[in-house]
Structure 1
Amino acid sequence: MRRFFAAFDREQQALTDLDRRSGDGDFGANLRFALGRARTALENTASATPGDVLDTVATAFLHTGGTSGPLFGMWFRQLAKATRAETIGVAELARGFADATATVQRLGGARPGDKTMVDAMVPASEALAGASGSLDEALDAAAAAARSGAEATADLLAKRGRASYVGEVARGVLDPGAVTVALLVEAARTR
């Protein structure tokens, strides 16, 4: 999570700018609040499994405003359930991503092509499900798929979320939720 915290710190203004151009502009502030709570909670934790860390992050996101915060919270919560062991393999991670992504889709009603975080979650999940190599190779494939999915949102007309209210104005703008998913998966890589 430290790598994601650092990536978010670097990209917070860019994410806020994306949301300002396609939504209500509160995305970066809401994520900063959630991640601040998560950092504080994790600093006060002696040692934890990956599942414990993800559950702590989930709780922080679930107490965040906006729509994206609780959706990320549920995503992390489902991912935490699949990562309770000390070591995580490709199969466990793939199952966790699939369950977490399905939960976000069910709760938020988004599908690939709707210009939401799901546009990065689904390709990352599919890349993990199809991975046959090492965990590092699987995460590399998932990160590339998430980034590609996030970049493709620029060409989409939003069908869900705040960006759907502004129609064509948001075309050409990346979805900040999808970009955040790409940052998360990229940060999860171990190399």
Structure 2
Amino acid sequence: MTTLTTEHARAWADRFVTVGAERNDELTELDRQAGDGDYGTNLRSALRRAAANLTGEPTSPHEVFLAVSEAFLNTGGTSGPLFGMWFREFAKAAKGREVTAVVLGEAATNAVAVVQRLGKAEVGHKTMVDAMVPAAEALSAAAARGATVPDALAEAASAAHVGAASTKRLLAKRGRASYVGEHARGVVDPGALTVAYFFDAATPSSS
């Protein structure tokens, strides 16, 4: 597959909604250990809004990403708006274009820049950025090698999981986890793990 079709984009979003629901208890528990425990509730609300937005049968990948973006932008908490802005960059990159691996790499790179600008987080701060940055880099590198969309997204998913796993050993520098100090060490950041699950959902084999 050289371009992301509307059907694939819609299936990707639908799987993300499903996986997010299936993993909600896990993500909530991680946030309870390292934050204020509301992450799962906010994520569930965002995914329900995304599912509702997608019932309108989007006609392009742009519309799919926009539906997900708007769902997160209308969700409370710290992470909801950041994810909303992240997804918005995917929608912007996809508007009026064939969505190749190169375009997805561009979208992910721009999305990371927006989140970092707004959230003031860097790699190593134990936030969603720890998964977003390696995923964007892997996606762009795969695209530059001429990888297909599925292969490039699979590489992004793998990199995002490595990035998310790295947060377990970190002391949080940003976000709610930064308030609890050493208590957050040993806990994977739920936002970073959500990024990994999002890229997992891009492939039919995701669970």
TM-score past 0.5 threshold? yes
The match for 2:49 is 37
Asked if residue 124 in structure 1 is aligned to residue 135 in structure 2, the reply is yes
RMSD after superposition:
1.1
Structure 1 position 46, deviation (Å): 2.9
The match for 1:163 is 177
The match for 1:145 is 159
Q: Which runs of 5+ in 1 are unaligned?
A: none
Structure 1 position 150, deviation (Å): 0.3
Counterpart of 1:78, as a letter, is E
Alignment TM-score, normalising by the size of structure 1: 0.96
Asked if residue 174 in structure 1 is aligned to residue 188 in structure 2, the reply is yes
Deviations 1:159-187 (A, max 9, x none): 00000000100000000000000000110
User: 1:1-191 counterparts in 2 under 5 A?
Assistant: 1-43=13-55, 45-85=56-96, 87-131=98-142, 132=145, 133-190=147-204
Q: Secondary structure at the match of 1:188?
A: coil
Deviations 1:118-163 (A, max 9, x none): 0000000000111122112111110000000001100000000000
Counterpart of 1:37, as a letter, is R
Q: Which runs of 5+ in 2 are unaligned?
A: 1-12
Counterpart of 2:118, as a letter, is L
Give the whole-Å Cα distance in 2 for the aligned partners of 1:87 and 1:189: 19
CA contact (8 A) 2:161 2:193 kept: yes
Alignment TM-score, normalising by the size of structure 2: 0.89
Structure 1 position 84, deviation (Å): 2.2
Identity within the alignment, %: 54
Give the whole-Å Cα distance in 2 for the aligned partners of 1:29 and 1:88: 32
Q: Secondary structure at the match of 1:130?
A: helix
Matched residue count: 190
Counterpart of 1:134, as a letter, is T
